[in-house]
Structure 1
């Protein structure tokens, strides 16, 4: 009987740890992250900043750990051109990334939509009437839930898209922030958190 109780306690402990929010960014430095490319990533006033460098190419900042099923939340503020995004279940060679991106872009450019890099392209975009939920030049809250084949995104508390896709379901990898190529991009990030969901 004691063994059964102990086993149940262990299972409850594991379940609780899986549901715990993890801070991905410590507000001080880029510990736990890796820079890919020559674009700028730095910490300023307790927040994370991505900014185009002189090469004006794609750039990425990826987590050192992989996350498969999860609930991810963050806040972002677009300054200048906000063309960026959050990749998930991704891998990279040089600056060629494979995986799926939740778009962070200027107004009416599909923030919250899902794009497959070097694959099928746009998988789903927000409805036209939902583009209004982006607050340009202000802090926005982005939420992504990936669980098996299903991915749902929210912007400022409003559901943007939901997709059920077998290929996404087979994906494994890290989370990464992106700088799009072309230059003139600056986005601020803060309160990056993730909650692991059971695989």
Structure 2
């Protein structure tokens, strides 16, 4: 009996070690894309700033948070390109609810309305967090016609049905509280969680890598965490 117990314990420990090593192999070290001090590693693309040098940037650092001041509208974009990762964003609307978004697989600037970069947007808009918006790129989800509208109207350009509704609108916390959005991009699959709830999952995305962008669009938003963990894609 003692020998069997010892062997069982050894097998349990061995299994735990193997699991830990496999997990470590899949998920690499997390990188904070926002350092809490300045906007190093990012660049700002705001069309209104092109012609008027007096226009102030809508992206600042305040009290250790990256703040989108909503106006003028535009984006703050990572300098680096990323592929196969888990992105964790903690955000809140400090004053009034409004619109904003996290863009993944961002590439060509200003392909939509001369402002939005080519990308897939993971919506942060109050009561709609987790919607997909197709911006020059496309993605597929189950029940597409229910969540996107008639097939003949689908598209990723102006005038087309670019919004794909999320699976739940009750995952957000009350106004002023911090929310956590997790976006996992592996290959051509994009998954989104809001405060731990799976709110969207798409496949056959037309892009599998790109920059990450945050919006200035409609309401002030504070970001206290923007962190990325690379994922090693396992191939059989």
- What's the CA shift for 1:190? 1.2
Give the 3-state SS of the residue equivalent to 2:209 in structure 1.
coil
Q: Of 208, 216, 219, which aligns to 1:179?
A: 216
2:164 is matched with: 124
- Partner deviation per Cα, 1:27-55 (whole Å, 9 max, x = no partner): 000000001104510011111100133xx
Q: Which has the larger radius of gyration?
A: 2
- Partner deviation per Cα, 1:98-157 (whole Å, 9 max, x = no partner): 0101000022xx211211114165353223xx2111113210011000101211100001
1:104 is matched with: 124
Gaps of 5+ in 2: 1-20, 50-56, 137-155
Alignment check: 8 A CA contact 1:124 1:163 kept: no
Q: Of 18, 29, 34, which aligns to 1:20?
A: 29
Q: Which runs of 4+ in 1 moved over 6 A?
A: none
Alignment check: 8 A CA contact 2:70 2:220 kept: yes
Alignment check: 8 A CA contact 1:24 1:194 kept: yes
2:69 is matched with: 51
Question: CA-atom RMSD, angstroms?
Answer: 2.1
Q: Tell me the TM-score normalised to structure 1 length.
A: 0.79
Give the 3-state SS of the residue equivalent to 2:59 in structure 1.
strand
Gaps of 5+ in 1: 1-11
